[in-house]
Amino acid sequence: MKPNKYPYFPTDFLWGGAQAASQADGDYQADGKGLNSSDVQPYLKGLSNAKIQELETQGMTLDQVKANQHDTTNYYPKRYGIDFYNTYPEDLKLLAKMGFKTLRTSLDWSRIFPNGDDEEPNEAALKHYDCMLDTMLDLGIEPIITMNHYETPLNITIKYGGWPNRQVIPMFEKFGKVLLDWFGSKVKYWIVVNQINMVQIEPFLSVGVCADQYENEEAALYQAVHNQMVAAAWIQQYAKSLKQPNLQIGTMVADGTVYPASCKPDDVILAMRQNRLQYFFTDVQFRGDYPAYANNYFAERGVKLDIQATDMALLKDNPMDFLAISYYYSKMVSADQNQYRPADTTKNPYLKESPWGWAVDPQGLYNTLSQYWDRYEKPIIIAENGIGMYDKVEDGQVHDPYRSDYLSQHIEQVGRAIHDGAQVIAYCAWGPIDIVSCSSQQMSKRYGFIYVDQDDEGNGSGQRLLKDSYHWYQKVIATNGAEI
């Protein structure tokens, strides 16, 4: 532990962690659950980390998705998770003992509406989540709930072509209404869609679109995002009608902003234009219209969206209340190597990387928080931050100073941003209990303070073991970030 140079966290700051039902819950056949987009991603044994992530960005064809529904040869780790669906009472107690003030998780859409287009919600799933939320509240843990964290029912992909189909909007609105009706008095903070800008990298998980479903994929993906933003605005409108003053509806992005590779004007301008493509998502949801730079980009790329007048009125009248951000690494662009399009970046030679090639850049978090605060002046939740590493159990212990060091440096930069005026209200370390990796389907890519005895193929006792970082974070929370 060391003193924080920027110990400026407010007394009511929400320290905690974050996970997703799709990566943690498991028990995929319980209580009438349907399959979702995460449930058909197999673990690809024997491949390098780089190759796994390369295949992930390529996506799956519709035939592959249909085949994977019934495949009994490969292992589908997100169907099993870490069995949080059943172990949540004990797991939440471990988090409470660490001092958690908040936990961000999701309520699986495919449990509550197994097919997405069901007439009535699955009450067994609602009752389960009701008990889980009560347990959190009894332990003094403020729920931050994501409505859709890569859990789009698979039927929506197969039958409707995913989120590009406007028929999906009322389905999700119905889901959102059910959540607010059931849990609106228990949950203050709602994130409608996890990392809405990740459609640029993970279209299947983000909007349920297969690699071969649309001739103009880019147009389909931006239409899908538009439809998600419209649904989010409707949910915000409904939330306001409930007259619950504490109810907050927010949007979330994964930080995708970039540095210029040099002070060469071409690099600086490319970085600025790339960054605007990231701000596009929040510009629309906070300002209520499509900026000219986005319309120009669409025109240049032959992207024509079905945007109705009622959509724009809804967006204008129902901006989001807060911004949630996930931050893991920073990126860089060079005019000599990159084109003006999202996610086309190059490696930063000044930064070290994790075993999965993610550049470690604590000051990048300070930069991101500052830029978003200056642009919108909306409350910010750090919805994810962490580093995936290989952990080793030695004599019943896990010594993980690399994790404490990474988080310490990033928490320091959060305090720095707060000191400069950013209204950051929560910090959620990603995966406080080891869970299945979103991008690689691996258990061995571990983020947690709590080790789970389970390997990449689901073998192991599932037993929980406290890592050294558990006790470190416990002290961070106890000192409200003054000691890191």
CA pair distance 287, 228, nearest whole angstrom: 16
Q: Which residue has the tokens 């409108």?
A: 237
Q: How far is CA 418 from CA 207, 322, 425, 479, in A?
A: 33, 16, 9, 16
CB-CB neighbours of 67 under 10 Å: 12
Which residues fall within 8 angstroms of residue 459, CB to CB, at 6 or more apart? none
Query: What pLDDT shows up at residue 312?
Result: 96
Domain annotation covers residue 319: yes
Query: What pLDDT shows up at residue 100?
Result: 98
Tell me which DSSP letter residue 358 carries. P
Q: Which residue has the tokens 């596009």?
A: 280
CATH number of 231's domain: 3.20.20.80
Which two three-digit tokens encode residue 293? Answer: 């730079």
Query: What pLDDT shows up at residue 13?
Result: 98
- Write the pLDDT tens digit of every residue in 248-259: 999 999 999 999
Q: Identify the segments of the chain with pLDDT beneath 50.
A: none
Q: Which residue has the tokens 């930080």?
A: 255
CA pair distance 160, 405, nearest whole angstrom: 46
Query: What pLDDT shows up at residue 117?
Result: 97
Q: Measuring CA to CA, which residue among 112, 170, 461 is closest to residue 311?
A: 170
Domain annotation covers residue 5: no
Contact call for residues 23 and 438 (beta carbons, < 8 A): yes
CB-CB neighbours of 291 under 10 Å: 14
CA pair distance 351, 121, nearest whole angstrom: 48
Query: What pLDDT shows up at residue 361?
Result: 97
How many domains, the chain?
Answer: 1
Question: Which residues constitute the domain of residue 336?
Answer: 14-478
Tell me which DSSP letter residue 99 carries. T
Domain annotation covers residue 155: yes
CB-CB neighbours of 453 under 10 Å: 15
Domain annotation covers residue 287: yes
Domain annotation covers residue 483: no
- Write the pLDDT tens digit of every residue in 396-421: 999 999 999 999 999 999 999 999 99
Kindly state the helix (H) or strand (E) to which residue 54 belongs, with its residue range.
helix 49-58
DSSP codes of every residue in 161-199: -STTSTTHHHHHHHHHHHHHHHHTTT--EEEEETTGGGG
Domain annotation covers residue 7: no
- The DSSP bridge partners found for residue 146 are 106, 191
Query: What pLDDT shows up at residue 272?
Result: 97
Domain annotation covers residue 1: no
Contact call for residues 326 and 196 (beta carbons, < 8 A): no
Contact call for residues 286 and 320 (beta carbons, < 8 A): yes
CA pair distance 278, 301, nearest whole angstrom: 17
Query: What pLDDT shows up at residue 49?
Result: 77
Query: What pLDDT shows up at residue 247?
Result: 96
Q: Measuring CA to CA, which residue among 341, 126, 314, 141 is closest to residue 221?
A: 341
